[in-house]
Chains A and B, each alone.
Chain A
Amino acid sequence: MTLMPPALRPHFSYSGLRHGARAALPAFPGFIMFALAFGTAAAQKGLSLGETLGLSAFVYAGASQMVGLEIWQQVWTPATILTIMTVTAVVNARMIMLGATLQPWLKHEPLPRTALNLFLLTEAGWLIGTRYHNEGGRNVGVLLGCALILWLVWLATTFVGFFAGALVPEPKRFGLDLVMPIFFGVMLVPLWKGAKPALPWLVAGLVSLIVHALVPGYFFIIAGALAGVVAGMLIE
Chain B
Amino acid sequence: MNGLSSFIASPWGSILAIAGMTLVTFLCRIAGVVVMSRVRITPRIERGLRALPGSIILATILPVVIDNGWPAMIALAAAIVAMAVTRIDIVGLVAGLGTLAVIRAFG
Contacts and interface: CB of A to CB of B under 8 A. Distances in A.
Interface in B32-80: 32-37, 41, 44-45, 47-66, 68, 72, 75-76, 79-80
B24 A221 contact: no
A58 interface: yes
A217 to B, nearest CB: 12
B106 to A, nearest CB: 12
A96 to B, nearest CB: 5
Given A77-B9, A232-B52, A58 B58 contact: no
Interface of A: 25-26, 29, 47-48, 51, 54-55, 58-61, 64, 68, 72-73, 75-78, 80-82, 84-86, 88-89, 92-104, 106-107, 114-115, 118-119, 121, 123, 127, 130, 172-176, 178-179, 181-192, 197-198, 200-205, 207-209, 212, 220-225, 227-233, 235
Nearest to A77: B8
The secondary structure that dominates the B interface is helix
Contact of A185 (B30, B35, B76): B76
Contacts of A225: 52, 55-56, 59
Given A85-B20, A118-B29, A175-B96, 6 more contacts: A55-B21, A77-B5, A101-B49, A127-B53, A185-B61, A197-B51
A184 B83 CA distance: 11
Given A77-B8, A96-B28, A174 B47 contact: no
Name, among B29, B31, B49, B75, the residue most crowded by chain A CB atoms within 10 Å (CB to CB): B29
Contacts of B15: 54
A219 B27 CA distance: 18
B28 A89 contact: yes
Nearest to B15: A54
A76 B9 contact: yes
A94 B56 contact: yes
Contact of B55 (A176, A228, A235): A228
B59 A98 contact: no
A34 B17 CA distance: 21
Contacts of A200: 51, 54-55
A76 B16 contact: yes
A234 B105 CA distance: 45
Contact of B58 (A73, A174, A182, A228): A228
A20 to B, nearest CB: 14
Given A85-B21, A96-B31, A229 B101 contact: no
A228 B51 contact: yes
A51 B57 contact: no
Given A26-B90, A184-B57, A189 B63 contact: no
B83 A228 contact: no
Contacts of A106: 33
Contacts of A103: 32-33, 36-37
Nearest to A181: B61
A111 B14 CA distance: 30
Given A96-B28, A181-B72, A184-B60, A76 B8 contact: yes
B98 to A, nearest CB: 8
